[in-house]
Structure 1
């Protein structure tokens, strides 16, 4: 575990060395931190050198500065350069996917491949629904909105399955503890610009993973990323909602390994 100061912000990261293996950077969702990838890391660390980090404003990283998606992308770029990770695979779930797409479109020389999970390249299509929630988070934190957050971030099977009860309880407790500062990060997510025009003629290999039960972004929105970029393919992850890397790590790990072999 370590910290690195880039762009006037202190980012927390963890690195799983695997000399000679390709580097995979994992970028987490809103309301989570790097720990959402722990099940996926356990499955992939023999095949990749893995780096995970916390976005500014979340986890153990510092809270200062802007939280918009362009700023988060510049943070990720600076992290890649400072740690000499390029060219690497970059995989992002939800908010991390917004970062992944911007990196792929603007800094293709840093990436071997872009993996987008439970995300979108377009404007926020549920802005009217999410705006009051974000305002509430900014005033009072997440405790009173925890049921809504759980519904947004997890699929129906995950929420109902006894086998996933421990996972849901763990993240329910963690998200309940989020204070009002999470509102700034949430605002950055819902107010993001579309990157669909930037994806035309994308130069980076692309894999898009969509949760079959995603309550936030539909499979069609994942397919839109492939259509706009003119490359890659979309794979639907069964029995998963928005947090595909956490809900179905085995399916995601298999898809990433196949993608890296192409």
Structure 2
């Protein structure tokens, strides 16, 4: 289980590709940064699809997945951003194509705006440049309180429709997949509340988007209720060199809900670069 000590924590990461020490067949590296409550497995379809052409790295955020825990009450997005910077620098892999979904997108936008030397391109999936909408905060804090003290099993029925589209949740052929992801949700460590607080408490970065100079792909599922398509459109409008792709029949976890469509969008974007 590869781990790396960076920024005062220990991160789990997966490093695959044609040459996991110097890039894939293109000599380029893609780093994947997952969404809240999940881990690097969120990008398993993309890692398998891209590893023959690129060096592909996916890592778990501090306090989540297989990375080290934390002791603060709220793991800030600034800290998680600094973790990503330290990971790229310590592995000496920059500049990279940096792909972030939801929480990973919060990291990606900060990285693109503040460290252009480390970013070849950005892939922003199911994310927002704004703070958490005020109307969501009381609901999410309540769910987080229950999860912290009573366990995630009691909130899974509320969280699954936030994380996945209705198409994914109601398709009989995908029952095994739903069970798998529900199991991962419920299996989160109790201390996940620290990471949830960081997402709820985050500051917006919309005013920084104009500083992003690298090519940007913005993707959003047309059934995403966590970061609705209007959020993606707002990001796209603020970054002139961006392109926007809507993923049909996908919610907040498009990478596993519609992997073929997501992979096709990645191929088209990367090919043009």
TM-score by length of 2: 0.92
1:229 to 236, 239, 246: 239
- Corresponding residue of 2:117: 109
Could you give the per-residue CA deviations for residues 181-234 of structure 1, whole angstroms, max 9, x where no partner exists? 011111101111000001114212111100111121111100111112233021
- Corresponding residue of 2:8: 8
Length, aligned pairs only: 262
- Corresponding residue of 1:253: 263
- Structure 1 residue 8 displacement after superposition: 1.1
Q: Distance in 2 between matches of 1:46 and 1:163?
A: 29
- After superposition, residues 7-156 of structure 1 pair within 5 angstroms as 7-18=7-18, 19-21=24-26, 22-66=28-72, 67-125=75-133, 126-156=136-166
Q: Distance in 2 between matches of 1:182 and 1:141?
A: 10
Q: Is the aligned partner of 1:196 residue 2:206?
A: yes
Q: Distance in 1 between matches of 2:34 and 2:189?
A: 18
Name the Cα RMSD after superposition.
1.3
- Corresponding residue of 2:21: none
- Structure 1 residue 130 displacement after superposition: 1.7
Q: Distance in 2 between matches of 1:24 and 1:197?
A: 26
| Runs of 5+ unmatched residues, structure 2 | 19-23
Q: Distance in 1 between matches of 2:93 and 2:150?
A: 38
Q: Distance in 1 between matches of 2:71 and 2:121?
A: 29
Q: Is the aligned partner of 1:176 residue 2:182?
A: no
Contact 1:141–1:181 (Cα < 8 Å) also in 2: no
Contact 1:240–1:248 (Cα < 8 Å) also in 2: yes
Contact 2:17–2:53 (Cα < 8 Å) also in 1: no
Contact 1:43–1:250 (Cα < 8 Å) also in 2: no
Q: Distance in 1 between matches of 2:131 and 2:59?
A: 25
Contact 2:247–2:258 (Cα < 8 Å) also in 1: yes
Secondary structure at the counterpart of residue 32 of structure 1: coil
When residues 8 and 201 of structure 1 are mapped into structure 2, their CA distance, relative to the original with a 3 A threshold, is closer
- Structure 1 residue 47 displacement after superposition: 2.4
| Runs of 5+ unmatched residues, structure 1 | none
TM-score by length of 1: 0.96
Q: Distance in 2 between matches of 1:243 and 1:231?
A: 25
- Structure 1 residue 136 displacement after superposition: 2.1
Secondary structure at the counterpart of residue 237 of structure 2: helix
Contact 1:9–1:65 (Cα < 8 Å) also in 2: no
